[in-house]
Structure 1
């Protein structure tokens, strides 16, 4: 038997961006690996609609490995951002050369 639309899951989740609690059915799934369609062995985080609308929805292939490669203990935000900007510039340069 089909459930009525009103009997949907009424759990709440917390938006990882703003901390607001929203109904699960009203939230957007966030996958830090950038592939929410591959659901095997994953636990998704969630965003409220407003925070999701503010995100860039461009592909993020390689982003996680890039961040992990430049990250280190005790790195200030400014140092991290400088390393990130340098790494992205180097990557773009290699694409232009290839």
Structure 2
């Protein structure tokens, strides 16, 4: 059936949402590329189970590239939030 996970490091991981260190078995993989099944040469980030439950699990096609385009982590937070608000309003208008 599925291959063994014996080659996977089962050590502690850090949740990218809250910063807590948790055992790997108590975490969920987060793949910012949105394709957790394509595993070759990837390094995953992790969410602890409580933070994972708090996340919206809706499709996020285009979200990562939009965040990069808007300057996430590169511009002051207030400027980024204004850009994000405008971009999401524009996306919503296109859907309506």
- Same fold (TM > 0.5): yes
* DSSP-derived class of the 1:60 partner: coil
CA–CA distance in 1 between the matches of 2:64 and 2:85?
15
CA–CA distance in 2 between the matches of 1:26 and 1:11?
11
With normalisation by structure 2, the TM-score equals 0.78
Could you tell me which runs of 5 or more consecutive residues in structure 2 were left unpaired when the two chains were aligned. Answer: 1-7
CA–CA distance in 1 between the matches of 2:33 and 2:66?
12
CA–CA distance in 2 between the matches of 1:72 and 1:39?
25
Post-superposition offset of 1:47: 1.0
Give the count of matched residue pairs.
89
Regions of 4+ moved over 4 Å: none
With normalisation by structure 1, the TM-score equals 0.77
Q: Greater CA radius of gyration, 1 or 2?
A: 1
Q: Which has the higher helix share?
A: 1
Could you tell me which runs of 5 or more consecutive residues in structure 1 were left unpaired when the two chains were aligned. Answer: 1-7
